[in-house]
Amino acid sequence: MMSQSGQDLDAQPRWRIGTNAFALADTVEWEPHAHPDHHELLWGTRGALTAETDHGYFAIPGTLGLWIPAGVTHRVIAAAGTTFRCTYVDSDVNAVGTTTTAVAMPEVVRVLLDRLEAAPYLARTPRLHAEELALNLLEPVESATVDLPLPLDPRTRQVAEGLLSDPADDRSIEDWGRHVGASGRNLSRLFVIETGMSFSTWRTRARMRKAIEWLAADHTVASVSRRSGYATPSAFVQAFRRELGRTPGEFASARHDSGRKSA
C-alpha cells in the first residue's frame, strides 16, 4: 500500500512492543494502577524492584522478569539506585498468560527488546518477526511470593507500615498499642479481622516479604537475617523455610540458576 507521497505504508513499524529504561537516584513508588490496553514486562533490574498485585508480592531480580497482564492492578516500588526496563505489549497479543508471573529472560530476548527500542523504524515485517520471537521465548518460572494483606484501620495500618519500614522492630502488640493509642487486645483483634492472621503471623510474613526483596538484590543471608529482625542466621533460615518452603540459599540458587539457563 502506498501513501500519497509514494511511501510504502506496509514498511512502517507496527508498535506492538515498546520499552522504557529507568535509572533512579531516589526511591520511587508508583501507586496502584492498571494498564487496560497493554501488558507490562519489568526486567533488566539492578537494585531492589518490587511489585504488588492481587496475585502476590514479587521481588524482581536481575536474572528474571515480571509479566503483569493488561488490566491487573499493580503497585511498584524501586529503591534508590535501582535501574530497570519496562516493556509494554499490546493487550491483544497473547504471550504469557492472565496471571502475574515471573519469567525467564534469555539473553536473546534482552537483545531483541533493546534492538526494537533502538531501531524504531525497522521495517514492519522484520519487526513483527522480532517481536514474535521475543515474546515466544518468554517462559514462566517459579517465583517466591508472600501473601500480605494490609489492614485498613488507621491504628493497625500505622503498625503495619512501621513493620514494613523496619521489620527488625520487635515491639510487642502491647507496646505497639501504647504507641498508636489502642489496647494490645483490641489491636490484636483488629489484625485478625482485617488481615485474617494474628499480629505475630503478619509480622513474620512482613519480614519474609522484605527478606525476599533484599535477597533478590543480592544481600547476604547474614545481612538479611539481621535486617529482618532475627537474632541468628539459623533462626532466619528456619522461619524462611517454614513460610516459603525453601531456604534463603535455595531461593538465591534458584534465581541464579534461572539466569544461567537463560543466558
- Sort 10 into a burial class: Cβ within 10 Å, 0-12 / 13-18 / 19+: exposed
Residues 98 and 191 in one domain: no
Kindly report, residue by residue over 70-101, the tens digit of the pLDDT: 999 998 988 888 899 999 999 988 778 888 98
84: domain CATH number?
2.60.120.10
Lowest-confidence range among 8-12, 119-123, 199-203?
8-12
pLDDT computed for residue 15 by the predictor? 60
> For residue 80, what are the domain limits?
9-141
| Domain count of the fold of the chain | 2
Residue 118: what residue type? A
Which pLDDT band, with edges at 50, 70 and 90, does 145 fall under?
A: low
- Assign 144 a pLDDT band (cuts: 50, 70, 90): low
Residue 60 counted as domain residue = yes
**Res 185: pLDDT:** 94
3-state secondary structure of 214: helix
Last residue within a domain, chosen from 96, 119, 141: 141
Most confident of 181-185, 243-247, 249-253: 181-185
The residues with which 20 forms a beta bridge, in sequence order, are 86
Q: What is the pLDDT of residues 27-36, one digit of tens each?
A: 888 999 999 9
